[in-house]
Amino acid sequence: MVLRDLRETDREALAATLRRTDGFRQDDVEVALELIDERLEKGERSEYQFIVAAEGDDLLGYACYGPIPLTESSFDLYWIVVAPRHQRKGVGRALMRRVEESAVRQGGRRVYIDTSSGDAYVDTRAFYTAAGYSEVARFPDFYREGEAKLVYSRDLSAGRG
Ligand SMILES: CC(C)(COP(=O)(O)OP(=O)(O)OC[C@H]1O[C@@H](n2cnc3c(N)ncnc32)[C@H](O)[C@@H]1OP(=O)(O)O)[C@@H](O)C(=O)NCCC(=O)NCCS
């Protein structure tokens, strides 16, 4: 597996991966594709940075992240996806580590991730916890009645615990 930058030719394969991923609705996929398109259009001028995990022509997954505007050293992990048939093999962990290394190189001290308290996200939350993230904020009834928005974070200078 290699971890590399986003390429123009990745767009269709990543769109297909997003569509196959349980838990993403059509509008989630559209937002994810907008970020990909912005990066492909603006290149380094885009605030959205990408790391793609690939094995030859096979795209295993990707992460999208970037510095949070108006903060001194905070980064947002906007999106992390591993194709269903490649899940649970360490690809997500490798992407997360690369995101954190990149953030540190750019002066980042904390990474923030938004997620949901919903049952559909139990595995996603387990993945964030395993990666050393913990809940730092909760917005009750944010997505719908009974489904909160959770903000997870990790201090990049601390160990994974
Ligand atoms: C969440 C996601 C990115 C994890 O990627 P992954 O490559 O499958 O995860 P890894 O194999 O690197 O897992 C690392 C650790 O996280 C935890 N973990 C990952 N998936 C888990 C699951 N389904 N249930 C419980 N724990 C899980 C485990 O501790 C795992 O270590 P282990 O396999 O040695 O036990 C992937 O499952 C995914 O794309 N899910 C759908 C999309 C999504 O929810 N994205 C996040 C919102 S944008």
Q: What is the pLDDT of residues 32-54, one digit of tens each?
A: 999 999 999 999 999 999 999 99
Judged by average pLDDT, the poorest of 10-14, 145-149, 156-160 is 156-160
Bridge partners (DSSP) of residue 65 are: 49, 77
Average confidence (pLDDT) over 105-131 = 97
pLDDT at 161: 56
Please tell me the residue having the least CA distance from ligand 1 atom 29.
130
Q: How do residues 132-145 score in pLDDT, each as one tens digit? A: 999 999 999 999 99
Q: How many residues are present in the chain?
A: 161
The whole-angstrom separation of Cα 25 and Cα 81 is 14
pLDDT surpasses 90 at 90? yes
Please tell me the residue having the least CA distance from ligand 1 atom 40.
81
pTM: 0.96
The whole-angstrom separation of Cα 103 and Cα 25 is 29
Pocket test for ligand 1, best of 88, 122, 133, 151 (most atoms within 8 A of CB): 88
Percentage of the chain with pLDDT > 70? Answer: 99
Give 127's contacts (C-beta < 8 A, 6+ positions apart). 92
pLDDT at 66: 98
Judged by average pLDDT, the poorest of 88-97, 102-111, 151-160 is 151-160
Tell how far the Cα of 108 is from the centroid of ligand 1, in angstroms.
23
Give 79's contacts (C-beta < 8 A, 6+ positions apart). 32, 35, 62, 63, 64
The whole-angstrom separation of Cα 142 and Cα 116 is 9
Cα torsion at 159, 60, 87, 89 (round to 10°)? -60
Please tell me the residue having the least CA distance from ligand 1 atom 10.
90
Cβ atoms of residues 109 and 156 within 8 Å: yes
Confidence class of residue 84 from pLDDT cuts 50, 70 and 90? Answer: very high
